[in-house]
Structure 1
Amino acid sequence: MADVSRLPWAITDHWDWQVHAACRGMNSELFFHPDGERDPRRSRRVADAARICAGCPVREPCRDWARRVNEPYGVWGGESEQERRAHLSRSHH
């Protein structure tokens, strides 16, 4: 029998958390700003997206992924673009 212990893990193992996301199937415009969006509309949209993320069973892996890849756009795991940048700048100091 072949020794499969040295084979790489299935790529789906890396992404399976997305299947359980509360935002799955929702309009992505709630999580990503349209061109030219400004406050207060932007703040309301981000707050609405964060409320969905707050009850999401995969909030932490989502947020951690966005931080790890330095995702520049959108609300991921309840964090806005600005919150992610602030977290990354604090963690690098």
Structure 2
Amino acid sequence: MTNLSRLPGRAEHLWQWQSRAACRGQGPERFFHPEGERGDDRAARDRAAKRVCEECPVRAQCLRHALRVREPYGVWGGLTEQERQALTTA
């Protein structure tokens, strides 16, 4: 029989906030740019994603997560990857 006492235990509390996110079910295309997207198209997509984040009840948790794991892509917690990177390198 496997010794379960050495397992780290339940961890859903680490990601449960995601079930309440305003972006849930909207698909990744609004929050993650396709390869090669630049200029006005990318700026418009980022603005649309940020509008969703403005109304999100778990925005702070989302941003904390993205900063903690240094999420390299997409809009998380209302910030783009460049905006998050500026926070972590300041």
Give the TM-score normalised by structure 2.
0.89
Q: CA RMSD in A?
A: 1.2
3-state SS of 1:33 partner: coil
1:85 aligned partner = 85
| In 1, Cα distance between equivalents of 2:9 and 2:88 | 28
- Aligned partner letter, 1:10: R
2:23 aligned partner = 23
Superposed CA deviations along residues 23-56 of structure 1, whole A, max 9, x for unmatched, are 0000211000001101111011001000000100
| In 2, Cα distance between equivalents of 1:78 and 1:85 | 13
- Aligned partner letter, 1:41: D
- Name stretches of at least 5 consecutive residues in structure 1 with no aligned partner: 1-6
- Name stretches of at least 5 consecutive residues in structure 2 with no aligned partner: 1-6
1:38 aligned partner = 38
Alignment coverage as a number of residue pairs: 84
Give the TM-score normalised by structure 1.
0.86
Identity of aligned residues (%): 52
